[in-house]
Amino acid sequence: MAVRLLRAPRRASGGSPPIAIGSTVGPLRGNAARCRTGARGRAALCLALLALVLPAQGQTLPDQRQRLAAARRDAALATARASDLARDAAAERDAADKARAEEAALAARVTVAEANLAAARARQAIAAQLLADQQGRLAAQQAPVARLLAALTALARRPALVTIAQPGSVDDLVHVRAVLGGALPVVRARTDAVRQAIAATRSLQADAAQAAAALRQSRIRLEADRTALARLEADHRRRSQALGRNAMSESDRALALGERARDLIDSLDAGAIASATATELAALPGPLPRPLAAGSVAPPPLHGVYRLPVRGRLVTGLDELSDSGVRARGLTFAVAPNAAVRAPAGGIVRYARAFRGYRGIVIIDHGDGWTSLVTGLAAPQVRVGQRVAAGAPLGRAATGEEPQVTVELRRRGRPMDIAALLG
């Protein structure tokens, strides 16, 4: 009994078309012996060639051109930002150098202020010593006057009668008064000069003290300005280093985006070459069907449409030899992250879960020994025993970098050529 595969609409809502489109040519080695007519073989060959050479939905020519324009725009923006950051870093370095020069000038001014303060303190000490010497001279010059004043005080305390009664006392008193009257102007003249010198010295001492206080305040302000400039220089240095690092990062990003733009240009060129190759190959006549081997029995004819479960770029074809020497038993497609994966044909789900390194696996039994194996799902959305129709969602592809989905069609355990069955 032949397997009746359910025919799905060619443009079902949200579904995959019966054919996936790729941007590179891979060696898909189909088995033309299973084609029943030459027309069907030519159709299968054309479909396989188109699946190999035309761009995928996520990587169509307009999409690639849009990605190229975006990469160029991002590269230009990154280059401009790197230039701006480099210019800002240079400005910060100039500001730091200026702050450092101003700090050096302030340090010199602090040194001068310290020297002036030391000189003011020395002048203050000299004025204090001079004042002490002048006060000593004044005391020495005022000593006779002090003695005279003591004598006059003693005479003033004596009663007048006693002075008159004492012989010679009146004469002595007159003599003392005469001497005192002559000595006082001389003593007063000498002490006036000393008093003036003392007043001048005290004025010098006060000026020196005031200058020293002003110099101390100036030195404190200069030290504060010097500290602020040192802090400002350090801030400018830090900003300059941060801007320099950001400029280098943006420059590296611009280089990476430029490389990406060049890769996209190469991809566009490869896509154009692949399209031309597909056109030339499609114009060639299809292969003639080969006769069945002696003693072999042809599989039951398939009716309906077998569709590919995903849209993507074909990376591995049937019976293709891998680097490790293993031949592929199905088709492997590079797809967009989180791409929808749909049932290639109707049937019953026999297995639906993760298996070793193949991520999520779904096995669909189509009946009469026909099964489909779909691997590379992030998480199957069907359960065992569930009946699915062609195009029904099975899950979504992984979200990692360049996820891949593999589909294998088997007849009683033997890999079958999918290209010959695509409708």
pLDDT value at 164 more than 70: no
C-alpha dihedral (245, 246, 249, 255), degrees to nearest 10: -120
Q: What is the CATH number of domain 32-36+289-415?
A: 2.70.70.10
pLDDT value at 373 more than 90: yes
Range with lowest mean pLDDT among 66-80, 137-151, 158-172: 158-172
Residues 264, 63: Cα–Cα separation, whole Å: 11
Q: Quickly state the pLDDT bin for 106 (edges 50, 70, 90).
A: confident
Name the pairing type of β-strands 387-388 and 347-354.
antiparallel
The class that CATH gives domain 76-255 is mainly alpha
pLDDT value at 333 more than 80: yes
pLDDT of residue 29: 36
pTM: 0.34
Q: What is the mean pLDDT of the chain?
A: 74
Equal fold, 32-36+289-415 vs 76-255? no
Percent of the chain at pLDDT above 90? 17
Higher pLDDT, 20 or 231: 231
Q: What is the DSSP string of 293-320?
A: PTT--PPPPPBS-B--SS--EEEE-TT-
CB 339 within 8 A of CB 397: yes
pLDDT of residue 390: 92
pLDDT value at 171 more than 50: yes
Over the stretch 317-331, which tens digit does the pLDDT of each residue have? Answer: 888 887 777 888 999
> What average pLDDT does the segment 343-367 reach?
90
CB 394 within 8 A of CB 381: yes
> What average pLDDT does the segment 240-245 reach?
84
> What average pLDDT does the segment 187-192 reach?
72
Residues 314, 24: Cα–Cα separation, whole Å: 7
Q: Quickly state the pLDDT bin for 212 (edges 50, 70, 90).
A: confident
Residue 60: HSE in the Cβ half-sphere, 13 Å Cα cutoff: 6
Range with lowest mean pLDDT among 112-116, 137-141, 175-179, 397-401: 175-179
Higher pLDDT, 13 or 303: 303
Over the stretch 27-73, which tens digit does the pLDDT of each residue have? Answer: 333 333 343 434 444 444 444 444 444 444 445 667 777 877 888 88
Residues 16, 9: Cα–Cα separation, whole Å: 10
Q: Quickly state the pLDDT bin for 15 (edges 50, 70, 90).
A: very low
Q: Quickly state the pLDDT bin for 284 (edges 50, 70, 90).
A: low
pLDDT value at 272 more than 90: no
Query: CA-CA distances (angstroms) from residue 156 to 153, 161, 181?
Result: 5, 12, 16
pLDDT of residue 319: 85
Where are the chain's structural domains?
A: 32-36+289-415, 76-255
Name the pairing type of β-strands 414-415 and 387-388.
unpaired
Percent of the chain at pLDDT above 70? 68
